[in-house]
Chains A and B, each alone.
Chain A
Amino acid sequence: MFNPRLVLAAFATVVLAAACRPEPPPPATPEPTGPTPAEIEAQRVADSIAAAEAAKREDERQAQQAQREMEQRARAARETLGEMVYFDYDESVLTSETTDKLRAKLEVLRGCPSVRLRMEGHADERGTSEYNIALGSERAQSVSEFFTGFGLAGARFATVSYGEERPISQGSNEAAWARNRRVEFVITAGGNDLGRCQG
């Protein structure tokens, strides 16, 4: 609460007191002094804490960056491995486009010996469902044989065929069929190592 009368009274008191005070002595020239050993010690501690914290922050930053890079590498490797490959009608022969994709996977697999893959073969709806189980299997196996042909251990690869049972495109036209004639890749082991692998 602001009371103008009280303020006025306080001002008057201050003026009167000043009028009654004697002349003060001139101030002594201050003797120049360095920091005390205690202050130096305190500064040293503070500096070293700051340095440690900075180093820690830098470490964390680097670790985070390394983590990010690892995650990026892992994600990229995962994407490379997971990319589907496609086939011609009633064929399990690898096309050049498919071979390019498989070479990229091969690089990842070479650098990551702990990674295991399951190849899932699929067929389009044409032909009978039982024959298409065999066709899907043959597609998955040509992919498996591509990898083992480059010296990778066969034990790292398993195949399964879904035939025409799991279309990703529902239509009955060439575009849908082309998307359905495929091999999908599932990482069954070593997925956590993907970011740390060489290459």
Chain B
Amino acid sequence: MKRSSSSPRINSRKHRERWSVAHTCLPVLLTVAAPCAAAGQENETAIPGVDLHSVIEERDVPPIAIRPLAVLGEDAGLAREIEGIIARDLDYSDRFRVRDSLPAEFAGEGVQYALWEQFAVDWLVTGTIEPGTGGGLSFAVELHDIVFGSLKAKATFPLPARDHPDFRLAVHSVSDAVAEWVTGERGVAATRIVFRMQAFGETSGREIYIVDFDGENLRRLTWDRSIATSPAWSPDGMRIAYGSFKSGFPLLYELNLDDGQDRLLVPEGRGQPDMPAYHPDGNTIVFAIVGDGPEGLFTYKIRDGCCLKRLDGSRPKDVSPSFSPDGEMLILTSPRLGSATPQVYKQPAGGGDAELVSPYRYGEGGYFTDPDWSPCGDRIAFAGGIGGRRQANRFHILVADVEGGGNRLLQLTREGNNEDPSWASNCRHIVFQGTRSYGSGVFIVDTVTGRTRLLVPNVKAEDPDWSPILAENGVVR
């Protein structure tokens, strides 16, 4: 039998420790009243149409430890580096409590389950690193179930050499495999996040940057000394579509991450195209055109290089479109309710009537933008402005059930300004750009526990987009 969650089991443990959620008032759920007036949040004006009641969602996450990895024919520093990457990945998965500071006698051959049980871990990762084929490494990993005193799973993963650019990504993919062994759901450590920001040392313009899941390996992808907008991952994780003024006029481009080649994506049409998003088929993109000529949402077949089409039912000033994971529907932002107030809508991808997703209350319409459809299809994240639209310069990240029509909302942030949410492929974590009293940065929030971490500090980043899985079982795509 496959355990999909370890919670029932650890509830029975006498040494069970409740891992109470950091910021225990998160997440916050509409229509569910529960006592958590605590935390003394600054009493900001509410988001129109959103009645918030707080609920503590306490989660038990199982303790896990990594025994110092054995190394054959390699230096110990390599083992420490791999342990460090995996331990942090498991921590960032928000599914484990990673135990550190292991007693020295726990190292060595064999696994003494009784000893580890006294150390209060449910799961133990052990492993051996050896030289592999082609100058790479071979990483044999075992997962031990301390509670049942048995080997739960084991596998041997190939890894590139330590100085190979894909080394860390491959190690992340081992973390994801370990997470899947325990929870039945693959982790998202082997992913990257793309965003745009003013380049370091420059005073204008926006360039595209990319960063690993754990905040390491921040790299600049464009050097155009221009304004880049709305970067978006292709479904295969090999390309990034974005808008840029680099030719003097705004156009859409696609950057190939393999060879660094950049190409004009939509060489026809009038007006100002922006905000591209890929269809799951990787061939069609949807984007907005504003300005001279017909405005609204358009699709184009980028592989075939043809078939520019305006979507039936789209209107001028429809912006920020993206596809549902099955490609059947679109989510978008539109001010079509009459006042300028933008709202979030869903609409059949082939054109048709749009349906309101964000909460709209007549006479006090809020300001809702930047929707992103969960890869599981059931939920939509977007940003909601605090106060009416006249004051809306601060936003919070909200999640709505697609079927709920905005009646059931999860508020994931309670501080500062928060915009541009994008889902991880696990349908659980969301990356967004945030501003706090201590500065701006790229943040990641867990929709289950509400735990928030700063991915890239001290940058005024915009439009982050979370990649698909980029490596599996040690093999980088």
Which chain A residues have a beta carbon within 8 Å of chain B's beta carbons? 89-92, 125-131, 133-135, 137-138, 140-141, 144, 158-163, 165-166, 172
Give the residues from 294 to 342 in chain B that come closer than 8 angstroms, CB to CB, to chain A. Answer: 295, 316-317, 319-320, 333, 335, 340, 342
Give the residues from 369 to 419 in chain B that come closer than 8 angstroms, CB to CB, to chain A. Answer: 369-370, 383, 385, 389-390, 392-393, 395, 419
With contact pairs A91-B340, A137-B272, A160-B291 given, residues A130 and B370 touching in the complex (Cβ less than 8 Å)? yes
Q: Which of these, B204, B245, B340, B395, contacts A128 with CB under 8 Å?
A: B395
Minimal beta-carbon separation of A88 from chain B (angstroms)? 10
**29 examples of A-B residue contacts, CB within 8 angstroms:** A89-B390, A91-B340, A92-B340, A125-B393, A127-B342, A127-B367, A127-B369, A127-B393, A128-B320, A128-B333, A128-B370, A128-B383, A128-B419, A130-B229, A130-B288, A130-B319, A130-B320, A130-B369, A131-B369, A133-B272, A133-B275, A134-B335, A135-B340, A137-B272, A158-B292, A160-B250, A160-B272, A165-B206, A165-B227
Minimal beta-carbon separation of A11 from chain B (angstroms)? 87
**What string of 1s and 0s marks CB contacts (under 8 Å) between B412-430 and chain A?**
0000000110000000000
B145 at the interface (CB under 8 A from A): no
B275→A140 contact, CB < 8 A = no
Minimal beta-carbon separation of A137 from chain B (angstroms)? 4
B454 at the interface (CB under 8 A from A): no
Closest to A163 in B: B229
B319→A131 contact, CB < 8 A = yes
Q: Which of these, B295, B333, B340, B385, contacts A130 with CB under 8 Å?
A: B333
Q: How far is the CA of A163 from the CA of B229 in the complex (A)?
A: 10
B274 at the interface (CB under 8 A from A): yes
Q: How far is the CA of A126 from the CA of B342 in the complex (A)?
A: 13
B227→A162 contact, CB < 8 A = yes
Closest to A140 in B: B291
With contact pairs A128-B395, A130-B275, A166-B204 given, residues A159 and B291 touching in the complex (Cβ less than 8 Å)? yes
With contact pairs A160-B291, A161-B272 given, residues A133 and B229 touching in the complex (Cβ less than 8 Å)? yes
With contact pairs A133-B319, A165-B206 given, residues A141 and B230 touching in the complex (Cβ less than 8 Å)? no
A134→B290 contact, CB < 8 A = yes
Q: Which of these, A129, A161, A166, contacts B290 with CB under 8 Å?
A: A161
Chain A contacts for B340, CB-based, 8 A:
90-92, 135
B317→A129 contact, CB < 8 A = no
B230→A130 contact, CB < 8 A = yes
**What string of 1s and 0s marks CB contacts (under 8 Å) between B217-242 and chain A?**
00000000001011000000000000
B462 at the interface (CB under 8 A from A): yes
Q: How far is the CA of A128 from the CA of B358 in the complex (A)?
A: 16
B438 at the interface (CB under 8 A from A): no
Q: How far is the CA of A144 from the CA of B395 in the complex (A)?
A: 32
Q: How far is the CA of A163 from the CA of B290 in the complex (A)?
A: 11
B463 at the interface (CB under 8 A from A): yes
**What string of 1s and 0s marks CB contacts (under 8 Å) between B58-69 and chain A?**
000000000000
B362 at the interface (CB under 8 A from A): no
Interface size class of B (residues with CB under 8 A): 35 or more
Minimal beta-carbon separation of A163 from chain B (angstroms)? 8
Which chain B residues have a beta carbon within 8 Å of chain A's beta carbons? 204, 206, 227, 229-230, 245, 249-250, 272, 274-275, 288, 290-292, 295, 316-317, 319-320, 333, 335, 340, 342, 367, 369-370, 383, 385, 389-390, 392-393, 395, 419-420, 462-463
B463→A129 contact, CB < 8 A = yes
Q: How far is the CA of A158 from the CA of B420 in the complex (A)?
A: 30
Q: How far is the CA of A160 from the CA of B271 in the complex (A)?
A: 8
Q: How far is the CA of A127 from the CA of B317 in the complex (A)?
A: 14
Chain B contacts for A162, CB-based, 8 A:
227, 245
Chain B contacts for A141, CB-based, 8 A:
291-292
Minimal beta-carbon separation of B222 from chain A (angstroms)? 15
Chain A contacts for B420, CB-based, 8 A:
128-129
A161→B291 contact, CB < 8 A = yes
Chain B contacts for A160, CB-based, 8 A:
249-250, 272, 291
Q: How far is the CA of A155 from the CA of B158 in the complex (A)?
A: 62
Minimal beta-carbon separation of B129 from chain A (angstroms)? 45
Chain A contacts for B291, CB-based, 8 A:
137, 140-141, 159-161
Minimal beta-carbon separation of B75 from chain A (angstroms)? 46
Q: How far is the CA of A62 from the CA of B370 in the complex (A)?
A: 62
Q: How far is the CA of A127 from the CA of B340 in the complex (A)?
A: 12
Minimal beta-carbon separation of A122 from chain B (angstroms)? 12
With contact pairs A130-B320, A134-B317 given, residues A90 and B292 touching in the complex (Cβ less than 8 Å)? no
Chain B contacts for A128, CB-based, 8 A:
320, 333, 369-370, 383, 395, 419-420
Q: How far is the CA of A125 from the CA of B393 in the complex (A)?
A: 8
Q: How far is the CA of A158 from the CA of B419 in the complex (A)?
A: 31
Using A91-B340, A129-B463, A162-B245 as known contacts, list a sample of 8 further A-B pairs with CB atoms less than 8 Å apart, ordered by residue number in A.
A89-B390, A125-B393, A128-B420, A131-B320, A133-B274, A138-B317, A161-B272, A165-B227
B462→A129 contact, CB < 8 A = yes
Minimal beta-carbon separation of B247 from chain A (angstroms)? 12
Chain A contacts for B390, CB-based, 8 A:
89-90
Closest to B382 in A: A128
Q: How far is the CA of A135 from the CA of B335 in the complex (A)?
A: 10
Q: How far is the CA of A166 from the CA of B392 in the complex (A)?
A: 20
B274→A130 contact, CB < 8 A = yes
Chain B contacts for A133, CB-based, 8 A:
229, 272, 274-275, 288, 290, 319
Chain A contacts for B367, CB-based, 8 A:
127
Closest to B370 in A: A128
Chain B contacts for A126, CB-based, 8 A:
392-393
Q: How far is the CA of A134 from the CA of B392 in the complex (A)?
A: 17
Most chain A CB within 10 A, of B230, B292, B420, is at B292
Q: How far is the CA of A89 from the CA of B383 in the complex (A)?
A: 19
Closest to B320 in A: A130
Q: How far is the CA of A159 from the CA of B289 in the complex (A)?
A: 12
